[in-house]
């Protein structure tokens, strides 16, 4: 998983930020904070998880589904870009 090793620092930073968000949600629940604010925190955490998922999936697709040692055909490039666009839209 070369892409995981290459992006390790960025990925770990994302995970640490997500952990901080989850800790914030836990505190909000323990302190009986306003449900609207808590829901916003949950939504933000979900967005952060989706961003992490998108980054790992994109690396997987580009390094393991396509062969990085070979130039993809025009059809493969088009299909890959279409899939990445769908994935980016879905994981917003």
Q: Which long-range contacts (CB under 8 A, 24 or more apart) does 37-41 make?
A: none
All domains of the chain in start order, with CATH: 2-90 (1.20.58.1000)
Which tens digit of pLDDT belongs to each residue from 8-34? 999 999 999 999 999 999 999 999 999
Is the separation of the CB atoms in 14 and 51 below 8 Å? yes
Separate counts of helices (H) and strands (E) for the chain: 4, 0
The CA-atom distances, in angstroms, between 58 and each of 31, 36, 39 are 38, 33, 28
The structure's pTM equals 0.81
Q: What local confidence, expressed as pLDDT, does residue 64 receive?
A: 82
Q: With a cut of 80, say whether residue 92 has pLDDT above it.
A: no
Within 10 Å of residue 66's Cβ, how many Cβ atoms? 15
Q: With a cut of 80, say whether residue 60 has pLDDT above it.
A: yes
Query: Which one has a higher pLDDT value, 20 or 80?
Result: 20
The CA-atom distances, in angstroms, between 71 and each of 22, 65, 75, 76, 77 are 41, 13, 11, 9, 9
């Amino acid at each position: 998983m070369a892409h995981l090793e290459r992006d390790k620092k960025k990925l770990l930073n994302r995970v640490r930020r997500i952990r901080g968000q989850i800790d914030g949600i836990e505190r909000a629940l323990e302190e009986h904070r306003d449900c609207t604010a808590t829901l916003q925190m949950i939504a933000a955490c979900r967005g952060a998880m989706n961003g992490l998922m998108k980054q790992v999936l994109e690396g997987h697709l580009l390094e393991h589904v396509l062969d990085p040692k070979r130039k993809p055909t025009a059809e493969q490039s088009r299909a890959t870009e279409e899939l990445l666009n769908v994935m980016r839209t879905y994981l917003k």
